């Protein structure tokens, strides 16, 4: 898509949590026609975002791999995003449409926001929402995020223990993200608040390696980057059965 001033549109494409079948029709349409794709990638190895997009790519497109130390907790990586934004802007100025691949949704803890901040106002930038990991994990766990008038909090695990506890006190339901090496710390908070039995652990939702279990069954002090804890203080909001007596699809075990 070219604008009247000759710039190509830059698209922030939400690709969903991992299953290529969860890529939206709109995102797939743009992937098929974009002359250029850009995507975050580790310093060595393949890009997860590109793996999600791969079944929808026709081939022959130019590719910009934005290589960085992913999952190290350091953000934003200003020099890397500066260079990537300059490369993408050059393609847009040349009239080429650029699809920037984003795991999940671009504006839900997505790295695309750092490119958006550098490109917006300099070239046409559009967003295509994607299925977020939050929704995918809830489906995998068979555990509604909220019910009735429940308040849902999304809590980053790198926060200090006291702050995590405070946030949990102020809500009925919570999704705790970015677990990584912080799993042990979060477990201590949940144990102190007597919420272990109200928490499910979800890892790599929608992928073949997906794991779902009660947190009480999860051992170890760390977790993969693509993992999440779902907490609900009152499961009776939608069911009169305890989570401890249901399997991960909500059927009696």
Long-range pairs for 224-228: beta carbons < 8 A, 24 or more residues apart:
224/179, 224/180, 225/70, 225/71, 225/178, 225/179, 225/180, 226/17, 226/18, 226/133, 227/179, 227/201, 227/202, 227/203, 228/133, 228/134, 228/137, 228/175, 228/176, 228/177, 228/179, 228/201, 228/202
Query: Could you give the CA distance from residue 68 to residue 166 in angstroms, rounded to a whole number?
Result: 33
Q: Which helix (H) or strand (E) holds 84?
A: helix 78-93
pLDDT of residue 146: 87
Q: Which residues of the chain have pLDDT under 50?
A: 242-253
Query: Could you give the CA distance from residue 66 to residue 23 in angstroms, rounded to a whole number?
Result: 21
pLDDT of residue 239: 58
Query: Could you give the CA distance from residue 250 to residue 237 in angstroms, rounded to a whole number?
Result: 14
pLDDT tens digits for range 155-164: 999 999 999 9
231 SS3 class: strand
pLDDT of residue 5: 77
Give the E-state strand segments of the chain in sequence order.
10-14, 36-42, 62-68, 98-102, 125-128, 152-156, 173-177, 199-203, 211-214, 227-232
């Amino acid at each position: 898509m070219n604008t009247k001033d000759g710039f190509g549109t830059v698209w922030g494409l939400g690709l969903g949590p991992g299953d290529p079948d969860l890529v939206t029709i709109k995102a797939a349409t743009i992937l098929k026609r974009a002359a250029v794709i850009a995507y975050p990638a580790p310093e060595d190895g393949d890009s997860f975002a590109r793996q999600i997009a791969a079944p929808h790519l026709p081939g022959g497109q130019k590719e910009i791999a934005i290589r960085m130390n992913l999952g190290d907790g350091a953000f934003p990586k200003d020099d890397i995003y500066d260079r990537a934004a300059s490369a993408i802007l050059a393609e847009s100025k040349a009239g080429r449409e650029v699809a920037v691949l984003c795991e999940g949704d671009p504006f839900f803890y997505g790295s695309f926001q750092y490119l958006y901040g550098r490109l917006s106002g300099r070239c046409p930038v559009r967003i295509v929402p994607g299925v977020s990991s939050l929704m995918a994990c809830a489906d995998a766990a068979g555990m509604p995020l909220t019910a009735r008038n429940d308040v849902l909090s999304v809590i980053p695990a790198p926060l200090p223990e006291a702050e995590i506890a405070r946030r949990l006190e102020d809500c009925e339901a919570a999704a705790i993200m970015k677990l990584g090496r912080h799993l042990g710390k979060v477990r201590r908070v949940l144990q102190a608040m007597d919420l272990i039995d109200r928490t499910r652990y979800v890892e790599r939702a929608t992928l073949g390696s997906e794991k779902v279990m009660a947190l009480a069954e999860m051992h170890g002090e760390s977790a993969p980057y693509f993992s999440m804890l779902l907490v609900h203080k009152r499961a009776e909001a939608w069911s009169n059965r305890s989570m401890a007596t249901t399997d991960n699809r909500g059927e009696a075990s």
